[in-house]
Amino acid sequence: MKDKKNKTNYNSKVKKNNKNIQRKKDIEWILTVTFMAFSITFVMTLFSESALANVTLLVGIIIVFLFIFLGIIFDMIGIAVTVADPKTFHSMAAKKVKGAKLALRLMKNASKVSSFCNDVIGDICGILSGAAASTIAILLASRIEVDIFWITLILTSFIASFTIGGKACGKSIAINRANNILFKFSKVISIFITE
């Protein structure tokens, strides 16, 4: 009877310890992703503000589409990491295919990778494309005699529709071609990260 009670106490201590370890890891991840979001936003805003300072209308539109495209691509990567088939990458890793081990590591941390790609990069791109749209609205308002309110309203509506439509299309592609997308992404980042 004592053994059973000791075993129960031990199991509850182990569970409590595991919860504390998991909570600590969660807090570390939250702090890390918050710092990364700040750093990436800082750098990308610095780039976009300096690029948009004395920009032509065409270049401003290209920058907006660049941010939208970047958001869609990272959204696809975030989806692909969560739905890719690990068996394919285990087989490739056994054959020592470059990028396969890294793809497995990404899949093992799918929730974090997906959070980073979908939320951090996606949200930053959304914010920056909106900021770039306001610069375009000012440029347009100075060229044509239309109230800036209406130009901003139309531009933000276009940007939102392109972003949402692009991400919807990208999600469909990512689900159907998850392995291919993840493999290409892991091959690219394996240039910077050792397997």
Distance of alpha carbon 183 from alpha carbon 107, whole angstroms: 11
Best-predicted range by mean pLDDT (10-24, 35-49, 130-144, 152-166): 152-166
Which is more confident, 128 or 175? 175
Average per-residue pLDDT in the chain? 84
CA 138 – CA 29 distance, rounded (Å)? 39
Query: Would you state the pLDDT for residue 183?
Result: 95
Look up residue 94 and give its two tokens: 């056994």
- Written in H, E and C, the secondary structure of 3-72 is HHHHHHHHHHHHHHHHHHHHHHHHHHHHHHHHHHHHHHHHHHHHHHHHHHCCCCHHHHHHHHHHHHHHHH
- Report which of 82, 146, 86 is spatially closest to residue 136, judged by C-alpha positions: 146
- Over the stretch 24-33, which tens digit does the pLDDT of each residue have? 777 887 888 7
Instruction: Please give the Cα distance from 117 to 126 (Å, whole number).
Output: 13
**pLDDT tens for each residue of 5-30:** 555 555 556 556 666 677 777 788 78
pLDDT level of residue 132 (50, 70, 90 thresholds): confident
Band of the pLDDT at 35, cuts 50, 70, 90? confident
Q: How far apart are CA 68 and CA 63, in angstroms?
A: 9
Q: pLDDT by residue (tens digit) across 69-91?
A: 999 999 999 999 999 999 999 99
C-alpha 195/C-alpha 99 separation (Å) is: 7
Q: What is the pLDDT of residues 138-149, one digit of tens each?
A: 888 878 878 888
Q: Compute the average pLDDT of residues 51-68.
A: 82
The whole-number average pLDDT for the span 34-55 is: 78
Task: Give the pTM.
Answer: 0.78
User: What is residue 147's predicted lDDT score, i.e. its pLDDT?
Assistant: 83
Both tokens assigned to 12: 């509850």
How open is the CA angle 34-135-40, to the nearest 5 degrees?
Answer: 20
Instruction: Evaluate if residue 169 carries a pLDDT over 90.
Output: yes
Res. 94: pLDDT tops 60: yes
pLDDT at 25: 77
